[in-house]
A = this chain, B = another copy of it.
Amino acid sequence: MATAAADVGASTARKLENIATPVPPDYVIAQSVKPLNIEEVAKAVGLEPEDYDLYGKKKAKVLINVREKLKGKPDGFYVVVGGITPTPLGEGKSTTTVGLCQALGAHLGKKVFTCLRQPSQGPTFGIKGGAAGGGYSQVIPMDEFNLHLTGDIHAITAANNLLAAAIDARMFHEATQSDKALFNRLCPPNKEGKRSFARVMLKRLAKLGIDKLDPDSLTDEEVTKFARLDLDPEQLTWRRVVDVNDRFLRVITVGQGPDEKGQSRQTGYDISVASEIMAVLALTTGMEDMRERLGNMVVGTSRGGDPVTADDLGVGGALTVLMKDAIHPTLMQTLEGTPVLVHAGPFANIAHGNSSIVADQLALKLVGADGFVVTEAGFGADIGAEKFLNIKCRYSGLRPHCCVVVATVRALKMHGGGPPVVAGKPIDFAYASENLELLEKGTVNLARHISNVRKYGVAAVVAINRFATDTDAEIEMVKKAALAAGAFDAVESTHHAQGGAGAVELGKAVEKACKSLKEDFKFLYPLEAGIKEKIETIAREMYGAGGVSYSSEAEAAIEKYTKQGFSKLPICMAKTQYSFSDNPTLKGAPSGFTLPIRDVRASVGAGFIYPLVGAMSTMPGLPTRPCFYDIDLDLETGDVVGLS
């Protein structure tokens, strides 16, 4: 197999020295390693200075046109990291993703790229803290990773809220103006008295079947159709967003000022990463495609039943302009100097929970043949990996060679019926000492995830993220269960405590799996299937459901979207991540249950239909003592303290 090393500078990967026991706090480790200047990392992966834009000294945006330059180069191996069904104990998926890459890059001499999601700033100041990995497997500088980064989420917030303002302003002006007056304002005469359509208006004209280029030639009926979007306030789906955990914005009433003339309505805010624009960024394949998707986003329905888009409002171009820098992924580095691309971070329930297509495409070319790109999928493999395979890979055209399924002994014990765990409370003895009985029962969860992955023709490698209290017998039991369920391999990994050195065996197993792959990749469902058929396939094949039930809202929505021509979109299930079922307390591998579909929504611009299984929270809150109490700037050193 050809090697891609010839045109690439010397690797910046370097093994960690001075690993401490017990493992110090994350920010202490992060600050103990001096990051390389990102230009060095860029040079090492073969980028020229014109290929990227620096954002300070430790971050750079890699320009997407690099893909054109590398067109003829072969792709590397493509690895997705999923996990067992999550528990409050944490499985360490991000940490495993980073640790695996450190092993591949700094210990096994491979070209490697980690592709990660950009975290929301909300949880950083709320309960959860940061999301840069942990222990000796982290992305650095962790404060830059967790805050602002290169402004992509801020751009999404700005674009999302410009569209929201455009909607309310348009409804306001339509309510107070005649069709004629509206039209005259939308197409005002220039100094010579000539009217013209803005370029974006041509899209609406085409949609309405009006093929005239001279505004003055429109009939009265056409003027009305063109100028009056006639949005139904009851059917508006676009909400505002903010990248803060602000629970008081979940349900609000807007338009209560005297100048808004009583046109108040109830709406609400989501956290910014729940914006459809985030999903667009994650799923787009290029600037032209992004312009299309942003313009096609449906914000609501007219009183006549037609979908109304961002381009109908005339704002798709402005949204693209706001997002034009965000389309370039951000280059960072791990503790062991291997390159990372951070890009997009859509919700894993109402969206697909995977980092961007653009970053993966770039990284696969940059590592070239025999190199590795490792990317993480949100939640458990039933959700994140399923959406990676059926939505992201469908739009990207890329196919994974291997799926890593991260498991921990502790979490499997919980799936076997172990006692509940409450954050901040001491952990039960069952988790801190050997308990083969609970563990054995819990392995059914892992087995189901493995067999799920195998349905796509992708090899499953189980990474057992080993904790200090796990016993050898426990590790052995998980390995056996994994292999029995059809895993290509199952290996323990101690990357949290040891960095890449602890994930070398995992790295070797992943390499072997990638190189041994012989099967053909297959999707779970064809796009041509109806919305219900697709939902039911996922429910049965991935979740183990016996059947699916639909509320009347869901039935009506499916009918509406089918009529509007959106039924060919892939399905993005918004389901709890804590169980294969809709009931978060059903651990293990439940089956035979009926999956209830409460409602069905669509992100038409991003390109998926999302059925709601139960209520999804899209705006977290702040606790009495949020993380921010500990966060400050050390005025002596300029370092950020207290981030976890």
Contacts and interface: CB of A to CB of B under 8 A. Distances in A.
Interface string A152-180: 00110110011011101110110001000
Interface string A309-338: 000001111101110110000000000000
Interface string A610-627: 000000000001111110
B161 A628 contact: no
Interface centre among A53, A182, A266, A288 (most CB of B within 10 A): A53
B248 A162 contact: no
Interface in A234-270: 240, 242-260, 263, 266, 268
A170 B623 CA distance: 8
A430 interface: no
A165 B244 contact: yes
A260 B248 contact: yes
Contact of A54 (B56, B254, B316): B56
A6 interface: no
Contact of A121 (B158, B177, B240): B158
Contact of A321 (B252, B260, B631): B631
Interface residues of A, number: 88
Nearest to A243: B158
Given A147-B322, A148-B155, A291 B633 contact: yes
Nearest to A166: B622
A252 B250 contact: no
A630 to B, nearest CB: 6
A155 B316 CA distance: 25
Contact of A631 (B158, B318, B635): B318
Contacts of A424: 188
Contacts of A257: 247, 250-251, 268
Contacts of A629: 186, 198, 200-201, 314-315
A173 B623 CA distance: 8
Contact of A288 (B172, B315, B635): B635
B198 A325 contact: no
Contacts of A4: none
A143 B316 CA distance: 17
A185 interface: yes
Interface centre among A165, A177, A182 (most CB of B within 10 A): A165
Interface string A282-296: 000001100100000
Contacts of A201: 629
A329 to B, nearest CB: 15
Nearest to A185: B624
Contacts of A255: 248, 251-252
Contacts of A154: 148, 151, 154, 157-158
Interface in A531-552: none
A16 to B, nearest CB: 27
A377 B363 CA distance: 48
A638 interface: yes
A628 B188 contact: no
Contacts of A244: 158, 161-162, 164-165
A417 interface: no
A125 interface: yes
Interface in A50-76: 53-57, 61
A393 interface: no
A34 interface: no
Interface string A184-217: 0110100000000011110000000000000000
B248 A172 contact: yes
Contacts of A29: none
Given A256-B253, A257-B251, A632-B199, A165 B622 contact: yes
A638 B255 CA distance: 37
Interface string A123-142: 00100000000000000000
Interface centre among A143, A157, A266, A633 (most CB of B within 10 A): A633
A272 to B, nearest CB: 10
A642 interface: yes
A230 to B, nearest CB: 15
B169 A317 contact: no
Contact of A317 (B256, B315, B318, B628): B628
A204 B56 CA distance: 35
A477 interface: no
B151 A246 contact: no
Contacts of A288: 635
Contacts of A147: 321-322
Contacts of A200: 629, 632
Contacts of A638: 287, 324
A640 interface: yes
A543 B165 CA distance: 37
A343 B121 CA distance: 24
A621 to B, nearest CB: 6
By Cβ-Cβ distance, the 9 closest A-B pairs, closest first, are A317-B632, A154-B154, A318-B628, A165-B246, A169-B622, A250-B257, A251-B257, A185-B624, A168-B248
Given A161-B242, A200-B632, A251-B255, 20 more contacts: A54-B55, A54-B56, A151-B151, A161-B244, A164-B246, A169-B622, A186-B629, A200-B629, A240-B242, A247-B257, A250-B256, A250-B257, A250-B260, A251-B258, A252-B255, A287-B633, A287-B635, A315-B626, A316-B632, A324-B640
22 contacts: A54-B54, A56-B61, A148-B158, A148-B325, A154-B157, A161-B244, A161-B246, A162-B244, A172-B248, A173-B623, A177-B624, A182-B624, A186-B629, A188-B424, A200-B629, A287-B633, A314-B626, A315-B628, A317-B632, A318-B632, A324-B638, A324-B640
